[in-house]
Amino acid sequence: MEQYTPANSVIYLEDIFRVYHMGAEEVYALRGVTVGVHRNEYVAIMGPSGSGKSTLMNLIGCLDTPSSGNYFFNGANVAGLDDNELAEIRNKEIGFVFQTFNLLPRSDALHNVELPLVYAGIKKEERLERAYQALEMVGLSDRATHKPNELSGGQRQRVAIARALVTRPSILLADEPTGNLDTKTGEDIMRFFEELHAKGNTIILVTHEEDIAHHAHRIVRIRDGKVERDEVTR
């Protein structure tokens, strides 16, 4: 297996720390994480509650910045980027799927999926076409005009996945995407992730269910803010 370097990885984290300041108290959510992800890898991040998984994902997704350490995205050090450049990476390079779906409640499925393209500055016509295609890909083209509260949990998560993929990002990040779904619906979502991976997508998934994690090809285990084990599973 080729070694991970900033140059050959989509994502390369180098000795990352993330400290939260709670008044006088310092909470170390991450304490020296070094991990790389190659293009078209399918990685599961596992670990007990509070071990720092979400913190790590937020850093990878450029929603948060590390207290120390370096983060290279597609070879470029994220620390040197300004707010607009980070917004652009979030928009174009990263698709984020959340445990709680995080759809805009007042907007219908199509508009939710279209929104990243709005921020990408794409024209209305193309936006609608691409949003519609993305909905079709997750099998929800017939629910385009439904609001989130008119959709089942699984359907909502598929809308969220369509939204994450509509800008054709380099990487798909999913923080416990099946956490709020029943087992069967969760399995549907996982099958879909596998298809995406087969089509060449890079996926990082946080879960604490072994069954779910074993869909991935590599499992990174975290404990107390550190990488405990990093193994290729298939």
Partner 1 sequence: MKFIGDTRESLSIALTAVRANPLRSTLTMLGIIIGIFTITLMGAFLNGMDHLFRQTASSMKTDVYYVDKWSWGGGDWRLMRNRPDIQEEYLNQLQAKMTTAASFSMSIGKWGQNVKYKNRSVQFVTADGVNEGYLQTESMNIQYGRFFTSAELLSARPVCVIGYEIASKLFPNTSPLGEVIRVSGYPLQVIGIAKRVGGLFSVFTIDNTVVMPYRTLQTAFGQKHQSVTIGVKAKSVEHKLDTKDELEFYMRQIRKLKPNDQLNFGINNQDQFNEQIDKISGLLSTVGFLITGLSLLVGGIGIMNIMYVSVKERTREIGIRKAIGATRRSLVFQFLYEATILALLAGAIALALAYPVTVLANNLLLSDSDLQIAFPIAYAGLGLGLAIATGIIFGLAPALRASRLDPVDALRYE
Ligand X SMILES: Nc1ncnc2c1ncn2[C@@H]1O[C@H](COP(=O)(O)OP(=O)(O)OP(=O)(O)O)[C@@H](O)[C@H]1O
Nearest distance from residue 58's CB to Mg ion, in Å?
9
Residue 53 vs 130, nearer CB to ligand X:
53
Q: Which is closer to ligand X, CB of 48 or CB of 75?
A: 48
* Rounded distance between C-alpha atoms, residue 160 and residue 166, angstroms: 10
Least distance between Mg ion and beta carbon 136 (Å): 31
27 vs 232 by CB, closer to ligand X: 27
Q: Name which of 43 and 115 has its Cβ closer to Mg ion.
A: 43
Which 3-state string (H, E, C) describes 49-68? CCCCHHHHHHHHCCCCCCCE
| Binding stretches for partner 1 (CB under 8 A) | 58, 61, 63-64, 83-84, 87-88, 90-92, 96, 98, 102-104, 106-107, 115-116, 118-121, 163, 167
Containing 175, the helix (H) or strand (E) segment is strand 171-175
Type and span of the H or E element at 41: none
Range in contact with Mg ion (rule: CB under 5 A) among 1-9, 12-20, 54-62, 107-115:
54-62
- Cα 95 vs. chain centroid, distance in angstroms? 6
Select the binding partner of residue 52 from partner 1, ligand X, Mg ion, none (C-beta < 5 to 8 A, by kind): ligand X
Tell me, by CB under 6 A, how many residues bind ligand X.
13
Q: Does 228 bind ligand X (CB under 6 A)?
A: no
Distance CA 165, CA 135 (A): 10
Q: Taking CB under 6 A as the rule, does residue 36 contact ligand X? A: no
C-beta neighbour count of 184 within 10 angstroms: 8
- Give yes or no for a contact between 132 and 141, defined as CB atoms under 8 angstroms apart: yes
* Residue type present at position 182: D
Token digits of residue 212: 């779910």
Binding positions for Mg ion, rule: CB under 5 A? 54
